[in-house]
Copies of this chain bind each other. A is one copy, B any other.
Amino acid sequence: MIKPARRNWQDVMSEVEQRIYSRQWRPGELIPNEADLAIEFGCARVTMNRALRALAETGLLDRRRKVGTRVTLNPITKATLQIPVIRSEIEARNHLYGYYLLDEKIEKAPHFISKLFNVSVGTQLLHVISLHCADGSPYVIEDRWINLIALPHLSDVSFAALSANEWLLQNTPFTHGDISFGATNASAEEASILKTKAGAALFTIERTTRNRIADSKPKDKALTNVRLLFRPGYQVHTNL
């Protein structure tokens, strides 16, 4: 069987995908090395490399030096998902976005936050609680702690009319962070804010952003931690 010469790395990638999906190359199996495949496909080795690398990034192939390239056994291991930027998400659905500041004060860090921010327990931090609405209905509660030591100029900013979410996104450079997704039962207070029943299951996102570069100090500084409590029924969706 003569293979027509492939033009670009995406065509090459598709052909490789075909071979995997058609089980010509089975899960766990070792496929030929780059050089041989490049000859077979009639392209440069770099092009072959690009195609195989892309498939490895999506998790379909598993590549190791000296060993070779294998078809992954369990391909469903990664998904890239959009992290909701609240205002955009609401406006993308053609709903009217609304923002309400519920509470804003400087207070002592609770234990878990001081550990997260790597500050001593009594430190004064900015605590902002707000509500985002879609067409007037409660959409998500934002419960945010801000590290005033790392972001001192923030004590002058008021979040009465402006979401802390947006302000920080556009004004605070960060280098890395972490994010968790979970579920929690609404407290009586949270339920009343979201206009639902106490105990309702809420989807939650908790995110901490840090900045490794701006500080010359060796330790990481957390800039801000935010906990988002979404209204009942909220889902995050993505394709594989």
Contact surface of A with B, Cβ cutoff 8 Å: 17-18, 20-23, 27, 73-83, 85, 88, 169-170, 173, 175-185, 199-204, 207, 209, 211, 213-214, 230, 232-240
Task: Select one of B182, B214, B235 contacting A21, CB under 8 A.
Answer: B214
Whether A236 pairs with B180 at a CB distance below 8 angstroms is: yes
Contacts of A176 in B (CB 8 A): 239-240
Given A201-B185, A203-B183, the answer on whether A80 and B83 have CB atoms closer than 8 Å is: no
Pairs A-B, 3 closest by C-beta atoms: A183-B183, A201-B201, A182-B235
How far apart are A17's CB and chain B's nearest CB, in angstroms?
Answer: 8
Contacts of A240 in B (CB 8 A): 176-179, 207, 209
* 26 A–B pairs (Cβ distance < 8 Å), ordered by A: A18-B213, A21-B175, A21-B211, A22-B214, A23-B173, A76-B85, A76-B169, A78-B81, A78-B83, A80-B81, A176-B239, A177-B240, A178-B239, A179-B238, A179-B239, A180-B235, A180-B238, A181-B181, A182-B183, A182-B236, A183-B183, A185-B185, A185-B200, A200-B201, A201-B201, A207-B240
